[in-house]
A and B are shown apart, each in its own frame.
Chain A
Amino acid sequence: MGRLLGTRSADLVVVLFGVSIITFLMIRLIPGDAVEIMLGANSEVTEEAVAALRHRLGLDQPLISQYLFWLGGVFRGDLGQSVWTGAPVGGEILGRIGVTIELTVLSLGMAIIVGFPAGCMMAYIRGTIGDYVIRLATIIGVTIPSFWLGIVLIFVFFKLAPSFPSIGYVPFREDPLGNLARMILPTVALGLPIVASVSRIVRSTMLDALNQDYIRTARAKGLTEVGVVFGHALRNAAIPAVTNIGIMAGYLFGGAIVVEQVFALPGLGRLILGAIAERNYPLIQAAILVVTGGFVIINFLIDVLYMIIDPRVSQR
């Protein structure tokens, strides 16, 4: 297992390295650079001026030296500076990541709180009309476009409850309740598909578990059906749901980009979209490294966890 852990860690480094190269090349292949956007379409700029500004920003260096320079900075703990604000990008990312993490954690929390009971319920009433209806509802939940849901929620709340604070962002440390109130709609928009998918996973693993021998034993011992479902089956069914959290984290971040855009939340997703539009290379580079790094590390930890829970995995 130790050796496996070693190879996995090495893979992790390789993946992050690959991500940084792809990001670096990709953003520089996008037509237009920060200088052109800074100067705007309505400008009267000479070629010399463009060259001067480009030189000031270090954009006239060969790609490979730009990359090595950046990489060297990363190893020294320096992610570079924002082209636009001049602030260290590390600080800019830290200032924004909280919102995205809050949104992600709230959505995940909602998924677990609502998804588990719903999944158990569906397993319990399997085969009835109610089961089909809830299953259909969860599939609709998975396929509903979150950006559409977000807009519809804003609109509906505006029509029905105009005093409900559906938009605007208040930092948690300034006004915890106001912050949470404004996070409700984004959380619902982002988390609904996850609720649906958690409940589906729980349902099917519960169904498998309910057919296992130990459950039959528990039933034979005279435990109530509810006791069986919640006491025994659920504990075993939880594992696949938890191991899926890694995948969900990836989905949630992708979804957060659009949801933050709709609700005007100052999160990492909007930071990255803005940085791409403004060709703020150091910021894109660092933000994508942070996001993918987080994703890869979460999945790595889950792999490790899984190995500990289920030693058979190590042999795969």
Chain B
Amino acid sequence: MRKPVFLAAAAFAAVPLAVSAQTLELATDQSPAGLDPHVATAFSTKLINDSIYEGLTAIDSGLRVVPGLAESWTVSDDQRTYVFKLRQGVAFHNGEAFDAADVVFSIKRVLDEQTGSPIASRFNLITDVGANDAGDVQITLSDPFAPFLGQLASLHIVPADYVEGGGDLQRTAVGTGPFSFDEWVPDTSILLTANAGYWDDGLPKLDGVKFNIVPEATTRQVGLSTNVYQLLPNIDASIALSVQDQPDVKVLKAMDLSYSLVGMNTTVPPFDDPKVREALNYAIDRNAIAQAAYFGEAVPAGPVSPALVEWAVPTEQFGCYAHDPEKAKALLAEAGHTEPVSFTLKALGSLQLVVDISQVVQAQLNQAGFDVDLDVQELGVFVQDWKASNFQAFASLNGGNVDPDGYFYRTFRTGGSTNVFKYTNAEVDSWLDTARISGDAAERKSLYDNVQNTLACQGPIAHLNYGTLFTATRSDVEGYELVADRSLRYLRQTAVAQ
């Protein structure tokens, strides 16, 4: 509908039109938890914000760092100073021009404690950020930080004037991305419309994207089969299995960066004893979980995703990954347990996959010297207990990170911001500290190998499985690509064939 004269002319010029511009109907099960890209970092929010906002850098479907709002960059020899050359002629959806001030504002906003940004710790090595005379952005780090460029992709740039003028990003979204925020009907739908002035010419191809929030799996399946919805992003294996044989439906898959896990509190019994944590690893049969909960579409998980080929230690090298209930019982006996070790496993109830996994885990542990009481919790309750370390053990699904440091440092370092397990290990701490600031890839690799080998069996997290990520679309949806980090950034080049 926009620019009708121009469109009509284009239609005449390019007969026959291969694709029709239209609004793609997408169905997902969860409502976003607010829209502020610096505060709300849940999957449900990220799903939408990835089309609205952009960072200086971006991650492509091969998990490589590519230019985003920064056209190019240079890194100083000591790897502590980054200079980003910004893209010219870019505007925010509200018409405000994008420049270095917005980048500086956004970075400072994330670092400001008042914002309460969960991603702040990814950027806590930044000592200075400013614009130089040429309009480039210069960022200085206290120490070299290898994963920095990748992490920057997650720092979305927001319009400085808009926010300073009292605009509330939690309720509306104003970015530079291919789609702009149009309408939010709570628990029902969010409508994004194409950003006509998007800097990447020819994109987006769709007129708009409507995120329908449909909690009922049956309704989503039938909706896809009857073309009410054209795309079901990031679905479980069970749903993919149900729709894959439908006519005019295709299923895309990719290795998921997210992994399922059992987290253990290392300060309360029984998991304050590393032997018990190791016993739990022996008691778990990761291949059986893959069969039962993922319908075979999963691989055993080590601390690093096998998708990160250059970092991951193969799981075959972890002794405790061999399923061995007798060994588990023996370890428990060594730890002084004569009775079955009873504990409560809190499961994140808002994800069916986690509920399924925890039932399988419970069955496995109960056959290997444990006595598990399962407590499926609603999201709000789960988050509260998780934050307060109020658990013996929990089952959950964690989003992945493209660099080991992004995950390890905050999770396993003593005092790390998401170290809710209260895990502390001086050796691991020193490896993490050294690897974080090392510019030597080989040294980092060997340090992270140590970390993985230590954490795999006696760490506070039993990594269970990396699943396969599925997305189901109508067969005429073209150009959509799955990204392992669950981002929907390829919506911009998606089109619906006529």
Q: Find out whether A and B make contact in their complex, taking CB atoms under 8 A apart as touching.
A: yes
Residue B187 at the chain A interface, CB threshold 8 Å: yes
Expressed in whole angstroms, the Cα–Cα distance for A32 and B348 within the complex equals 14
Query: A86, A277, A278: which contacts B168 (Cβ < 8 A)?
Result: A86
In contact, B387 and A278 (Cβ under 8 angstroms): no
In contact, A274 and B381 (Cβ under 8 angstroms): no
Given A32-B384, A158-B225, A266-B188, residue A52 in contact with residue B116 (CB < 8 A): yes
Contact with A along B112-134 (1 / 0, CB 8 A): 01111111111000000000000
Give A92 Cβ to nearest chain B Cβ, in Å.
6
Expressed in whole angstroms, the Cα–Cα distance for A158 and B220 within the complex equals 12
Residue B223 at the chain A interface, CB threshold 8 Å: yes
Stretch at the interface among B36-44, B139-147, B336-344: B36-44
In contact, B42 and A42 (Cβ under 8 angstroms): yes
In contact, A167 and B219 (Cβ under 8 angstroms): yes
Contact with A along B374-390 (1 / 0, CB 8 A): 00001111111111000
Which B residues are in CB contact (< 8 Å) with A262? Answer: 216, 218-219
Give B169 Cβ to nearest chain A Cβ, in Å.
10
Query: A46, A84, A151: which contacts B116 (Cβ < 8 A)?
Result: A46
Expressed in whole angstroms, the Cα–Cα distance for A63 and B133 within the complex equals 53
Residue A162 at the chain B interface, CB threshold 8 Å: yes
In contact, A84 and B117 (Cβ under 8 angstroms): no
Which B residues are in CB contact (< 8 Å) with A44? Answer: 118-122, 410, 417-418
Query: B118, B212, B381: which contacts A32 (Cβ < 8 A)?
Result: B381
- Interface bracket on A: 35 or more
Expressed in whole angstroms, the Cα–Cα distance for A274 and B213 within the complex equals 11
In contact, A38 and B39 (Cβ under 8 angstroms): yes
Expressed in whole angstroms, the Cα–Cα distance for A33 and B388 within the complex equals 13
Contact with A along B417-433 (1 / 0, CB 8 A): 11000000000000000
Which A residues are in CB contact (< 8 Å) with B398? Answer: 42
- Interface bracket on B: 35 or more
Query: B118, B213, B385: which contacts A40 (Cβ < 8 A)?
Result: B118
Which A residues are in CB contact (< 8 Å) with B116? Answer: 39, 45-46, 48-50, 52-53
Which A residues are in CB contact (< 8 Å) with B223? Answer: 167-168, 264
Expressed in whole angstroms, the Cα–Cα distance for A82 and B384 within the complex equals 21
Residue A166 at the chain B interface, CB threshold 8 Å: yes
Query: A41, A84, A263: which contacts B382 (Cβ < 8 A)?
Result: A41
Which B residues are in CB contact (< 8 Å) with A231? Answer: none
Give A152 Cβ to nearest chain B Cβ, in Å.
10
Residue B252 at the chain A interface, CB threshold 8 Å: no
Residue A95 at the chain B interface, CB threshold 8 Å: yes
Query: B34, B212, B380: which contacts A30 (Cβ < 8 A)?
Result: B380
Given A32-B381, A38-B39, residue A261 in contact with residue B215 (CB < 8 A): yes
Of residues 196 to 215 in A, which have CB atoms within 8 Å of B's CB atoms?
A: none
Give A175 Cβ to nearest chain B Cβ, in Å.
14
In contact, B383 and A37 (Cβ under 8 angstroms): yes
Task: Identify which of A36, A50, A86, A264 gathers the most chain B CB atoms within 10 Å of its CB.
Answer: A264
Give A35 Cβ to nearest chain B Cβ, in Å.
8
Query: A37, A52, A151: which contacts B113 (Cβ < 8 A)?
Result: A52
In contact, A40 and B33 (Cβ under 8 angstroms): yes
Task: Identify which of A40, A41, A53 gathers the most chain B CB atoms within 10 Å of its CB.
Answer: A41
When C-beta atoms are compared, the residue in chain B nearest to A51 turns out to be B116
Give A30 Cβ to nearest chain B Cβ, in Å.
7
Residue B64 at the chain A interface, CB threshold 8 Å: no
Expressed in whole angstroms, the Cα–Cα distance for A31 and B216 within the complex equals 25
In contact, B383 and A36 (Cβ under 8 angstroms): yes
Give B273 Cβ to nearest chain A Cβ, in Å.
26
Residue A85 at the chain B interface, CB threshold 8 Å: yes
Contact with B along A123-159 (1 / 0, CB 8 A): 0000000000000000000000000000100110010
Given contacts A32-B381, A158-B225, A271-B186, 15 further A-B contacts (CB under 8 A): A36-B380, A39-B41, A40-B41, A41-B386, A44-B410, A45-B116, A45-B387, A53-B39, A84-B33, A151-B216, A167-B223, A167-B226, A261-B216, A273-B187, A274-B31
| A-to-B contact residues, CB < 8 Å | 30-33, 36-46, 48-50, 52-53, 82, 84-87, 92, 95, 151, 154-155, 158, 162-163, 165-169, 261-264, 266, 270-271, 273-275, 277-279, 283
Can you spell out 25 A-B residue pairs with CB atoms less than 8 angstroms apart? A31-B380, A31-B381, A36-B380, A36-B387, A39-B118, A40-B41, A40-B118, A41-B383, A42-B398, A42-B399, A42-B418, A44-B410, A44-B417, A45-B116, A46-B116, A49-B113, A49-B115, A49-B120, A52-B116, A86-B170, A166-B222, A264-B216, A264-B219, A264-B223, A273-B187
| B-to-A contact residues, CB < 8 Å | 31, 33-34, 39-42, 113-122, 168, 170-171, 184-189, 212-216, 218-219, 222-223, 225-226, 228-229, 348, 378-387, 396, 398-399, 410, 417-418
Q: Which 10 A-B pairs have the closest CB atoms?
A: A49-B116, A32-B380, A43-B118, A274-B187, A44-B417, A86-B171, A266-B188, A40-B42, A32-B384, A168-B228
